[in-house]
């Protein structure tokens, strides 16, 4: 398996623009997670899905952020409108269902977002 695939790897945009980040989890995995990593705050969970259903979105910072998982092999994280403080590295991760197994998360290479 190719692992978790994220696109784009880098995104530079201007304040106010819509940004869409994409993720393809490992085939067969039941859980999908979106994280944001910054120097100040470290790695923070934004939202996670189980079997394509959002389970916990309490980490989503504002209504400008939204995430969808239309099927088991694809998820998007959208920021509209984007702001400079959204600049960060966004990671997607996936894992299998099972007692404790959902903690064994496999991360993608991340999308480095810069909002000017």
Comparison of 8 and 16: residue with beta carbon closer to another protein: 8
Spatial neighbors of 32 by CB under 8 A, at least 6 apart, are 23, 25, 48, 49, 69, 75, 92, 93, 94
Range 64-90 burial, b when 16+ CB lie within 10 A, else e? ebebebeebbebebebeebeeebbbeb
Nearest approach in angstroms of CB 16 to another protein is 28
Q: Is 106 in the site for another protein (CB under 8 A)?
A: yes
| Least distance CB 13 / another protein (angstroms) | 20
Q: Give the Å distances, CA to CA, from 42 to 78, 94, 98, 100, 105.
A: 20, 19, 27, 23, 17
Residues 54-93 vs another protein: string with x where CB under 8 A?
-xx----------------------------------x-x
Is residue 4 within the footprint of another protein (CB under 8 A)? yes
Among 21-29, 61-69, 78-86, 104-112, which window interacts with another protein (CB under 8 A)?
104-112
Interface residue list for another protein (CB under 8 A): 4, 31, 33, 41-45, 48, 55-56, 91, 93, 95, 99-100, 102-110
């Amino acid at each position: 398996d190719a692992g978790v695939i994220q696109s784009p790897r880098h995104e530079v945009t201007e304040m106010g623009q819509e940004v869409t980040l994409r993720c393809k989890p490992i085939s067969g995995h039941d859980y999908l997670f979106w994280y944001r990593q910054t120097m100040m705050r470290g790695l923070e969970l934004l939202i996670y899905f189980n079997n394509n259903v959002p389970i916990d979105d309490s980490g989503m910072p504002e209504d400008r952020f939204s995430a969808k998982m239309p099927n088991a092999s694809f998820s998007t994280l959208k920021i509209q409108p984007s702001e400079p403080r959204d600049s960060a590295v966004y990671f997607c991760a996936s894992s299998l269902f099972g007692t404790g197994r959902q903690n064994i998360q496999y991360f993608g290479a991340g999308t480095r977002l810069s909002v000017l």
